[in-house]
Amino acid sequence: ADFDARVKKTAEIEKVDYIVELKLDGLSISVFYEEGKFIKAVTRGDGKVGEDVTENIAEIKSIPKYLKNKINIEVRGEVVMPISSFEELNKRREENGEELFANPRNAASGTIRQLDSKIVAERELDCYFYYIADGGNYGIKSHYEALKFISDIGLKSAGNYTLCSSVDEIEITIKKWEEARHNLPYETDGMVIKVNEYRLYDILGT
């Protein structure tokens, strides 16, 4: 509620829409397409310099080699290991006398940093996209539009997001997911509340 009040005061407006989305517990990556073709993938790293993981990311089946549109674009997503894949992986490691992974996030992160890309393919990682760098270049004016655009060009979005117009709606959404998240095929580690309209970002700061 305090955040909502600060946003309205700073932007000098009376109504603000928010997107409330699940925060997936995995490894953040940026994927680059040129003329719609997959060319590169890097980890977030320290926020400025990431690790090139192109060869391994190319083995994730849910990341297309070609988009539906021939555009140059950078999209950010979360690489996750589905809970079923994680349990199967640890079962095999236990049978082989190998050290078990503590959780799916560590398993996903460790897999992406493997030197052998064949191992990545075997471990059935998944990826969900949630952000477009420089969305304004594609006529996108809000985060809601960006999430729709991600799906339209053939990328996978988690789909677990809600457009909210009040703090009450935000709280209802959070309460809903406190229970529902336990039925998802992957782990989450919170929720993210984002101002929807991009025009407000320059005023508020990102």
User: What separation in angstroms does the CA of 200 have from each of 7, 15, 38, 84, 196?
Assistant: 9, 12, 31, 40, 8
Per-residue confidence band for 87, with pLDDT thresholds at 50, 70 and 90: very high
Give the pLDDT mean for 59-82: 95
Length of the chain (residues): 206
DSSP 116-136: -HHHHHHTT-EEEEEEETTGG
pLDDT for residue 113: 85
Which pLDDT does position 50 carry in this prediction?
A: 80
DSSP 184: S
Strand, helix or coil for residue 152:
helix
Residue 90 has pLDDT above 90, yes or no: yes
Can you count the helices (H) and strands (E) in the chain?
A: 8, 7
At 3-62, the pLDDT tens digits run: 999 999 999 999 999 999 999 999 999 999 999 999 999 998 776 778 899 999 999 999
Predicted local distance difference test score (pLDDT) of residue 107: 93
User: Rounded to an integer, what distance in angstroms lies between the CA atom of residue 24 and that of residue 100?
Assistant: 21
Q: Residue 25 has what pLDDT? A: 93
- Name residues whose C-beta falls within 8 Å of residue 37's C-beta, 6 or more positions apart in sequence: 65, 66, 67
pLDDT in tens, 147-194: 999 999 999 987 789 999 999 999 999 999 999 999 999 999 999 999
Confidence of residue 129 (pLDDT cuts 50, 70, 90): very high
Euclidean distance between CA atoms 106 and 52, whole angstroms: 18
For range 188-206, the mean pLDDT = 93
Mean pLDDT of 107-130: 89
Return the pLDDT at 95.
94
**So what's the pLDDT on residue 45?**
74
Half-sphere exposure of 110 (CA within 13 A, CB side): 13
Catalytic residue numbers, as ranges = 23
Above 80 in pLDDT, residue 120? yes
